[in-house]
Amino acid sequence: MSKSTAFHTDHYELTMVDAALRSGTAHRKSVFELFTRRLSGARKYGVLAGTGRLLTAIENFRYTDAELNWLRDRDFLHSETLDWLANYRFNGNITGYAEGEVFFPGSPLLTVESTFAEGVVLETLALSILNYDSAVATAASRMHTAAKGKPLAEMGSRRTSEINAVYAARAAYLAGFSATSNLEAGRTYGLPTMGTAAHSFTLLHDSEEEAFRAQITAFGPQTTLLIDTYDIEQGVKNAIEIAGPELGAVRIDSGDLPVVVARVRELLDSLGAKNTKITVTNDLDEHTIAALAASPVDNFGVGTSVVTGSGSPTMNMVYKLVARQGDDGQWVSVAKKSENKGSVGGKKIAYREFKNGRAIAELFEVQAQDGTDTAGVPGRENLEQITVPLITDGNIHQEHLGAAGLEAARERHAQRLQELPLIAMSLQRGDPALQIEYIGN
């Protein structure tokens, strides 16, 4: 399979390039903006994830012989367009929010400055990566805050595609999860991996005791034993009888968890296993995690809910042309006016306003009509510019890439959570946590 990402796009992006090349408008300087009109699930904030992946994908956006021959065989593009695609390299500028940032409706998450043709072909690539990764990260962030410091492990690979499973693990780690069950995510991104045994391992053996003994022999008493294949209380007793009171942990994957967890803790303590931890799984989401946070649960394992965005599998991001130059070289702000789908024209720079160490507003400064960058937001204090460079003259800013970029994004997100108002931590549906304001043209 080709390493090229050039076909991670839609048919109509190439036909637009084809028509624009023939009309003479393909090389007009243009500004595209990626944003969301509203936060999915009426959440208080979103979490940007996938930026590092996107930058790498743009670097690999090349039309090789394999792609060009396929397009020639389909015969829907003119030869001039195929020649243009053969030489495609993104040479423009991209700015936006750094990965791990929180965002709100209208936040200019990605601003692409290039010719029309250079920028329009990146639409689907950018949206497919950022929509999914950000949906997972947003759900994971809510789970992380709901857990109140207790570790969470991502274990949802079987509930999404084999490719998205890897990216979901990355996004969940960025938002505060401590480990994943997915080995490819561990290999690709250096994430901690975890896992011990499933119910099938217990059922393989003639008794639960035999299964526990086999696991202890292989991994030692610090392993985690799954105690709910048969009877949970008997499972606890069997686990401690075989592993001793130094057993690392037990896992519970069924039942009325608040009741079951309390009883298991009581049993473990009565058997002298006061340091044995309790891990729970069983279709958890941010609401069940919040309900269990004050119980004697030590670790959470989350599957389906995190990899599907906990009911919001996309952030509804869009990619729109917001400014372009005319034939006279003058900049023109453009915007879609459709009902319920309107946009705000003009390139924007984002700032966050703080008071007493807490964020209170998100400000979007609209660039002047002549295309020159303005000099901040007059009359406002305690502002931090959120917009940062990602690609300059076709060159990627390397600090956003690789394992180092992911760790920086994880640290950035943890800091941003601390700066949000307390209402942002609420799991109830409602308005965005920060006030949004457009300033300028």
* Mean pLDDT calculated for residue range 387-408: 97
Q: Are residues 271 and 332 in the same domain?
A: no
Residue 201: in which H helix or E strand, if any?
Answer: helix 199-204
Contact 99, 51 (CB under 8 A): yes
Q: Are residues 286 and 316 in the same domain?
A: no
The domain in which residue 402 lies consists of 11-136+312-440
Q: Are residues 245 and 341 in the same domain?
A: no
Burial class (CB in 10 A: 0-12, 13-18, 19+), 351: buried
Which of 203-212, 215-224, 313-322, 327-336 has the least mean pLDDT? 327-336
pTM: 0.95
Using CA atoms, how far apart are residues 47 and 45, in angstroms rounded to an integer? 7
Using CA atoms, how far apart are residues 144 and 244, in angstroms rounded to an integer? 32
Q: Are residues 372 and 425 in the same domain?
A: yes
- Residue 252 belongs to a domain: yes
Express each pLDDT in 8-35 by its tens digit.
999 999 999 999 999 999 999 999 999 9
Query: Which pLDDT score, from 0 to 100, does residue 135 have?
Result: 98
Angle at alpha carbon of residue 41, lines to 36 and 44, rounded to 5°: 75
CA distances from 214 to 24, 186, 217, 228, 418 (A): 72, 26, 5, 17, 45
Q: Are residues 285 and 351 in the same domain?
A: no
Q: Which residues pair with 33 in a beta bridge?
A: 111, 320
Express each pLDDT in 261-309 by its tens digit.
999 999 999 999 999 999 999 899 999 999 999 999 999 999 999 999 9
The band of 78, judged by pLDDT with boundaries at 50, 70 and 90, is: very high
Q: Are residues 261 and 378 in the same domain?
A: no
Using CA atoms, how far apart are residues 155 and 165, in angstroms rounded to an integer? 9
- Residue 364 belongs to a domain: yes
- Residue 142 belongs to a domain: no
- Residue 190 belongs to a domain: no
Report the number of distinct structural domains present in the chain.
2
**Helix 257-270 vs helix 232-243: angle between axes, to the nearest 10 degrees?**
30
Query: Which pLDDT score, from 0 to 100, does residue 338 have?
Result: 80
Query: Which pLDDT score, from 0 to 100, does residue 1 have?
Result: 42
> What one-character-per-residue DSSP string does 238-264 give?
HHHHHH-TT--EEEE-SS-HHHHHHHH
Express each pLDDT in 321-331 by its tens digit.
999 999 898 99
- Residue 161 belongs to a domain: no
Q: Which of 197, 221, 222 is nearest to 211 (CA)?
A: 197
Query: Which pLDDT score, from 0 to 100, does residue 245 have?
Result: 97
Q: Are residues 363 and 420 in the same domain?
A: yes
Query: Which pLDDT score, from 0 to 100, does residue 340 have?
Result: 76
Give the chain's end-to-end CA distance (angstroms, integer). Answer: 47
Secondary structure of residue 120 in the 3-state scheme: helix
Using CA atoms, how far apart are residues 428 and 436, in angstroms rounded to an integer? 20
- Residue 163 belongs to a domain: no
For residue 325, the number of C-alpha atoms closer than 13 Å in the C-beta half-sphere is: 17
Using CA atoms, how far apart are residues 249 and 276, in angstroms rounded to an integer? 5
